[in-house]
Amino acid sequence: MVDEETDKALKRNTPCVNGRYSPDASNAEQVRKQFVILEEYAKLKGLTFVEVDTSNRLSMEFVDAFHAFHRYCYMCGLIKPDRCHHCMSCGACVVKYDHHCPWINKCVSYANYKFFVLYLFYSCVLIAWCVLTSAECIVRYFVRQRWLDGLPHFILVSAAVILCMVFSYYPLGQLLIYHFKLASLNETTCEQAKPPNIRGDPKADYNMGTYRNLRAAFGWGLWLFPVETHVNDGMHFPIRYTIAATGVKYNAVSVKTSV
């Protein structure tokens, strides 16, 4: 957490829109001042306020045009790592923030993303099992061909199966498919809504290939089991940059630095 003087200096140089500080609304001069304030604070404390990767993408030449390095939370007074966002519902900054889920009453993030996806998967499996076992009654009804015998039971079970499929399996199944696609691309729901501007490169992303992306999301193994299998710390991520001249993507592994 930064000191009070640094916090006030940052707020003086950041536009306030609708009662909230908005660094995205800053002009080039304000962005430069914000950068300098954080840089001076980092030097004073012996810290690196944003990680510098192997391509040395962090440099002042990018600051005039981009706000990508402005990783300060005006509500928490914290310098944030990449992919960390402030959750208004929880009132705190969350590492690798995906979204705030009202059904589990907490944020889906680095700490519990695997468990959230498994929750969706297990729910879909349970619903599928209920539908299949209930279908036995429907099949038996047609096999016996006693149309009036057991008709109320048949209608009740059929309605339950249809309702289960429409109101349970469909939304949960679609959500599971959506998050599996996100994991395979190494993206979050938040990043889908607003693509990140990584190190001043709007075309850069965290996509390291399907297997490595899934491994980053679900860990080193035991993907179908609710056990912690993290392979990173949730604050440092490999980045895939774009060569401006050719448009070709290449990987650059971030250097871990303390914040």
Q: Which residues are tagged catalytic? A: 101
Burial 67-105 (b: 16+ CB within 10 A, else e): bbbbbbbbeebbbbbbbbbbbeeeeebbbbbbbbeeeee
Structure tokens at 108: 């889906």
Distance separating the N- and C-terminal Cα atoms of the chain: 10
Q: Give the closest residue to 121 by CA, choosing from 67, 180, 81, 72.
A: 180
Q: Pick the closest to residue 237 from 210, 214, 209, 207 (CA basis).
A: 207
Contact call for residues 48 and 259 (beta carbons, < 8 A): yes
How many other C-beta atoms can be found within 10 angstroms of the C-beta atom of residue 41?
Answer: 20
